[in-house]
Amino acid sequence: MKEHNWIKIALTPFSWVYGLITSLRNLGYDFQLFASKKPSQFVISIGNLTVGGTGKTPVTEYLTSLFSSKTPTAILSRGYGRKTNGFVLATATSTPAEIGDEPMQYFLKFNPDVLVAVCENRFHGAEHIALAAPEKQLLLLDDAFQHRAIARDINLLLNDFQRPFYQDLPFPAGRLRETRTGAGRADAIIVTKAPARLSETDKEKVIQNIQKYSKREAPVFFSFIEYGAVKSYAEGPVSLKKVKMAAGIANPLPFAAHLRARFDVTEEVVFRDHHNYTPADVEELIKNLKNDTFVVTTEKDMVKLKPLVEALGAAGKFAYIPVKVSFGNDTERFHKWIFKQTGHLFQAER
């Protein structure tokens, strides 16, 4: 711990430099020295100040489920980790290598009702979507808080309850992509991965810390993760007792804790976030795997692993656990707020 603290102290001056550079860039947009263009769609951006693991994917899926039945919706992502460049529209033949694992997950879950596309330049991506599908009135931007070249109508900032931005530093001493003051651009802040039962006193403490950097009028909503029922890669029913965990996500600790609380976890295999799985990885995962043990992954990992697992005829030994976000007691308040901001597109549920 002491060694870690000394490393952080040594890197702090570099964080000041990095923070200064990002602040100057933001000032350039604030004073319109850099162009920020508004696409034809109504744009909701979902992003964060922290690198990875804040729960953007479940929140994006929540908003997609909430809105796609009310208005034509599209999701635009950078497509992190893909091996392609430029604008790519997700289709039935797309692979995670072509569009990225998270966009692939969106496509598998919401196709054909929701258009999914990837593009490094979000404004150009929005223009392509407008040409390909002009009926799509709502555009959800996945992980675009720092991508200020595209103007948005609603800017949602996610704050991980376990790793709050207000206790962190910019790179390289911390995990922030910019300084904490970036929270001032948010129209609302969603605290993710909070305990399902959080006292009002604890909530107020978090809100007070957030409001040191956010706009005073920006509401703060609390959400938590709900784990779904286990699903087999082979699409059949599955009953688990002993499991071998495999995860390539930014923060596998909550997933590991969930498995330990419910199953006999024989082994935990952790890969880097957005890991590009290979047949050799699958062979290593099933090597010496006992008949009563399943390899259990996240849904994000399943998207990339399933084709490899099926090719080796091992789908019956793999399972995954989907997750979704819940706003709990904040559900009604969040719906009321978001529908008020989008009143010309949606009608609030009654």
Q: Which of 79-88, 231-240, 311-320 has the lowest mean pLDDT?
A: 231-240
Residues in the chain: 350
Are 258 and 194 in a shared domain? no
pLDDT of 106-144, one tens digit each? 999 999 999 999 999 999 999 999 999 999 999 999 999
Determine if the pTM surpasses 0.85.
yes
Q: Which two tokens stand for residue 218?
A: 């920006």
Is 53 annotated for ligand binding? yes
Is 215 annotated for ligand binding? no
User: How far is residue 256's CA from residue 268's CA, in Å, rounded to a whole number?
Assistant: 8
Determine how β-strand 231-232 pairs with β-strand 318-321: antiparallel
Is 54 annotated for ligand binding? yes
Average pLDDT over residues 301-329: 96
pLDDT at position 237 is 75
Residue 92 C-alpha from the chain's centroid: 22
Distances (CA, A) of 55 to 51, 188, 190: 11, 15, 10
Is 57 annotated for ligand binding? yes
User: How far is residue 275's CA from residue 22's CA, in Å, rounded to a whole number?
Assistant: 28
Q: Is 6 a domain residue?
A: no
| pLDDT greater than 70 at residue 3 | no
Greatest distance between any 2 Cα atoms in the chain: 63
What burial class does residue 217 get, using C-beta atoms within 10 Å of its C-beta: 0-12 exposed, 13-18 middle, 19+ buried?
A: exposed
Are 263 and 124 in a shared domain? no
| pLDDT greater than 60 at residue 2 | no
Are 313 and 331 in a shared domain? no
Are 148 and 214 in a shared domain? yes
Got the DSSP string for 126-137? HHHHHHH-TT--
Which residues, including other chains, have CB under 8 Å from residue 152's CB and lie 6 or more apart? 43, 44, 45, 141, 144
Q: Which one is predicted more confidently, 237 or 342? A: 342
Are 235 and 221 in a shared domain? no
Contact 59/190 with Cβ under 8 angstroms? yes
pLDDT of 67-81, one tens digit each? 999 999 999 999 998
Are 57 and 203 in a shared domain? yes
Are 175 and 312 in a shared domain? no
User: How far is residue 89's CA from residue 103's CA, in Å, rounded to a whole number?
Assistant: 10
Are 161 and 238 in a shared domain? no
pLDDT at position 317 is 94
User: How far is residue 103's CA from residue 208's CA, in Å, rounded to a whole number?
Assistant: 34
CATH of the domain at 246: 3.40.50.2300
> pLDDT-based confidence at 348, cuts 50/70/90?
very low
Q: Is 350 a domain residue?
A: no
pLDDT above 90: percentage of residues in the chain? 90
The SS3 of residue 14 is helix
| pLDDT greater than 90 at residue 7 | no
User: How far is residue 272's CA from residue 290's CA, in Å, rounded to a whole number?
Assistant: 25
Is 55 annotated for ligand binding? yes
Range of the domain at 277: 229-321
Average pLDDT over residues 26-35: 94
> pLDDT-based confidence at 1, cuts 50/70/90?
very low
Q: Is 4 a domain residue?
A: no
Is 2 annotated for ligand binding? no
pLDDT of 221-279, one tens digit each? 999 999 999 999 998 778 899 999 999 998 899 999 999 999 999 999 999 998 999 99
Are 133 and 46 in a shared domain? yes
| pLDDT greater than 80 at residue 344 | no
Are 308 and 254 in a shared domain? yes
How many structural domains are present in the chain?
2
Are 132 and 202 in a shared domain? yes
Are 165 and 245 in a shared domain? no
> pLDDT-based confidence at 346, cuts 50/70/90?
low
CATH of the domain at 98: 3.40.50.300
E strands, 200-330, are: 220-222, 224-227, 231-232, 242-247, 264-270, 293-298, 318-321, 323-326
Is 342 annotated for ligand binding? no
> pLDDT-based confidence at 160, cuts 50/70/90?
very high
